[in-house]
Structure 1
């Protein structure tokens, strides 16, 4: 069985499990049988430029990694806060009923992914490459920088490639992050979150077609943060050749944070508010 199908089966088994210890009953035995093959399949993705799709093959590394990201989202789902009262139920929640998903401990989560070659993101200052904003406490000074005040779940790297961002609570001035937007607007290129709406390429597709979704790749190299590397470069025009309604700064925020962070300069441009193309930011 190809690695992508092995990982897909793990997600489905976790999703359906109704016992008392999903790690011991499902995850650990699966790792004993499949971890080596999956780790080998993902290894070429660990270095920037180490793997490029030249022609499509079913279950290639990007599809394998997407399936694994679903497993991650399922296992860390209950680390997260509930939807705010009065929120509309996200479409993905209706489809998957994630409140029934089983719970693992933080140590079990990290143990599982370490066996697949991943390492935790350490304690670093706030940077949207590494951090997903779960809650914003608004600082009274608009210019106040973003400060991490708590960690909700751990993030993971596979070599130079980001696998999942660390979930954090922050305090920030409104020039940087606005409460109710940076922590509530829909997250893009993400399968599932307990506390907010998400969108990825699988929604709306059938039982099998949804698994042809590609994992979005971001890399940290010696010189740059490299976002969305499998897409064409960001441009001033959309795919139809029409001018983009979002400003360059707004498009940068969308790619880096995967969501809106502040009110749009043109409020009517919200339908254009999805991450665009490839984006690189120098580390200097």
Structure 2
């Protein structure tokens, strides 16, 4: 199977140096306006490619290595943006000190992402961080809490 290039050439660099690095270095109070909005406006082709990769038919397509780097760069942005939703940081320089917890939700909306529907636990959609044994060993797993919602772009799970 031949690898198919979906993202524009250099997309991973645009995500890394145009979005991730400025987010990491941001010290203002309006990240959405100062960093996210200009990046989204300048990169509609990257966002269109991301939505294309999320189409169910793309599960049968081998992506080019550069496309995989782009997806990795997007995942790193997501990981940075969920930090304020995690337990309190112990390092005062952590992004939890300067990023609003709404930044993650704004980014997911900006890239055309959605949050997985459903109220129950699903091993594909949820990351287990703690297990509380049930009284009944035959009981189905129950979702006891959630630190942040997952992110889907089409059928592509970017964050659980």
TM category (shorter chain) comes to 0.7 to 0.9
Deviation track 1:166-195 (CA, whole Å, cap 9, x = no partner) reads xxxxxxxxxxxxxxxxxxxxxxxxxxxxxx
| Higher share in strand | 1
Alignment: residue pair count = 148
Q: What residue ranges of structure 2 are gaps of 5+ in the alignment? A: 1-8
Aligned to 1:5: 13
Aligned to 2:41: 32
Do the aligned partners of 2:115 and 2:151 also contact (CA within 8 Å) in 1?
Answer: yes
TM-score, length-scaled by structure 2: 0.77
Q: 101, 105, 111: which is aligned to 1:105?
A: 101
Q: What residue ranges of structure 1 are gaps of 5+ in the alignment? A: 86-92, 166-284
TM-score, length-scaled by structure 1: 0.46
Q: Which runs of 4+ in 1 moved over 4 A?
A: none
Do the aligned partners of 2:84 and 2:101 also contact (CA within 8 Å) in 1?
Answer: no
Greater relative contact order (Cα 8 A, min sep 6): structure 1 or 2?
2
Deviation track 1:241-283 (CA, whole Å, cap 9, x = no partner) reads xxxxxxxxxxxxxxxxxxxxxxxxxxxxxxxxxxxxxxxxxxx
Do the aligned partners of 2:31 and 2:99 also contact (CA within 8 Å) in 1?
Answer: yes
Aligned to 2:55: 47
Aligned to 1:164: 159
- Asked which structure has the greater CA Rg, the reply is 1
Distance in structure 2 (CA, Å) of the matches to 1:25 and 1:44: 27
Aligned to 1:74: 80
Q: CA deviation at 1:63?
A: 1.1
RMSD over aligned Cα atoms: 2.6
Distance in structure 1 (CA, Å) of the matches to 2:147 and 2:11: 30
| Higher share in helix | 2
